Amino acid sequence: MSRLVPERTFLAGKIFFNFGQSSIDCIVRRLSEEAATLEMESGIGVPERFQLRLAGRESLTCRVIWRSDRQVGVAFEQPGGGERPAGEDRERSSDALMRSQMLALRAALDHVPTGIVLLDSSLRARLINRSFRRMWRLPDEVADSNPSILTLLHHGRDTGAYEVPDPDLDALITERVRVIEAGDPTPIDLRRTNGDVVRVQVTPLPDGGRMLTYTPVTDIVRYSDELRLLRDALENVQDGVLLLDPDLRATFMNRRMRRFWEVSEDEAANRPAYSSLVRRLHRASAPHLPTSELAKFPARRVEEVKAGDHVRDLQTPDGRRIRAHCTTMSNGGRMLTYVDITDLTQKAAMLETLATTDPLTGLYNRRHFLESLDAEWSRFQRYYRSVSVLMLDIDHFKSVNDRYGHAVGDAAIKAVAAACLDGKRRSDIVGRLGGEEFAVLLPETSLSRARTVAERIRKRVMSAQVFADKVQFGLTVSIGIAEATISMSGIDALMGAADHALYQAKAEGRNRCIAWAPPPPASKAAE
């Protein structure tokens, strides 16, 4: 049996063909008595048969049995072949072909980026490709010596290739040998000390051997790790997150979103359609809609999401307010984020209440009342619709404070506020201007109708009772009434007219309603 020259063979040669008229320089990489691997700048132009000359040797007749871009595998044709028995000739030819095929396989495997080790039934290496040698810094003299799998694993241990603590290395090697012996094809990711990740897989071979593949998967694992971190982060954020594919099926739903839709982890893993989610909870999502419109809500909501970016306010079954943001993603899908704005809404309402409401009575404060009056004044100027104002003042309020104290005085103010709310119409606005002074805005109301409301409020106050230290007493109010006229310059003039009427009511004996009347023209006054 011929012996292959070691892989480090490096001989200069020259290819002759075309009756010796043409030649190509080459390097002999592998050489045996029957075959060789030749390397040149390009395999183009190399004929099927040619003469190979090596320094210090006779010319060899060669037949090409395989090709690559820069290499050819050849078998040597022996001169005087007719003198050998036919059986021997066929045996040598078959042996040469097998060796040449092995060389072709080796050359092909050397060009793949995946590390490959072919083991025989005793788990010794029959072939180790170039990628594996580079990956694990394995010297050629070791690779070419048919090392055992244990030798290869120990080499990795000794060179510090594994990202494994020293006490665990032997256990790792033992486990790897067990997996290889068992032929377990389950991929295993090995982390190397340089940060790279290699995916190792075992494939059993028909002859009892094993093929080991070592595939670099650093980028894949890194992206996978980053994706896992991202999913973990999204899973634990306080806002609900829902990712939809272009068909609007849920590809990811975090814990907060599952709670909102009342969906289990198993249901979420089945990629439910967004339309099915909306139909499940449409009553909770749009409680403000009438029954006739509620049935149409799921389809409308799906169309909104299909349309792309938007913001919509929803409501959970437990009454919490949710602001849904829909964003179009680069893959054509949608990302929905649900932000709980219940506390913000409540705080905003609280701030609005504090900014517009009198803390003692719950009525509108002076600022908000005047803002409302200003809006009605604008409508009066534009459409000439009537608007009237009442000014109220508690009669002899100072004596109440002096006699019973400020706490009882506050109770009296609350009693008057309640009477004003009870006596006003639904469209009227009541405000506390300060101290014991109140005002009522009556939109689209003439002076005569305003007088009716004023009298009703006055009577409500008279029927109210205030209790203080087992003492019960009543109250009265004086009310001034004024209707806006085109001659007035603004709301200050209107309020001034009502205030003038209020003081007239006090001057005439209190507990009465007086309407403001504009002064007569100058000519009439002279008469």
Alpha helices in 237-341, H assignment, sequence order: 255-261, 265-269, 274-285, 291-294, 297-307
C-alpha to C-alpha distances, 239 to 236, 255, 315, 317, nearest whole angstrom: 9, 9, 14, 17
Report the C-alpha gap between 440 and 147 in whole angstroms. Answer: 102
SS3 423: helix
Burial of 461 (C-beta count, 10 Å sphere; 0-12/13-18/19+): buried
The whole-angstrom separation of Cα 221 and Cα 228 is 10
Which CA distances in Å does 393 have to 313, 331, 451? Answer: 44, 68, 16
The pairing of strands 465-468 and 429-434 is unpaired
Return the axis-axis angle of helices 406-423 and 447-463, rounded to nearest 10°: 140
| φ/ψ of residue 260, rounded to 5 | -65, -45
What does the DSSP 8-state code read for residue 327?
E
Q: Residues with Cβ < 8 Å from 214, sequence gap 6 or more? A: 114, 115, 116, 117, 131, 132, 135, 198, 199, 200
Catalytic residues: 436
Q: Do strands 188-191 and 22-31 pair parallel, antiparallel, or not at all (unpaired)?
A: unpaired
**Rounded (10°) angle between helices 274-285 and 297-307:** 120
Strands 310-315 and 240-244: unpaired
In single-letter form, the type of residue at position 378 comes to: S
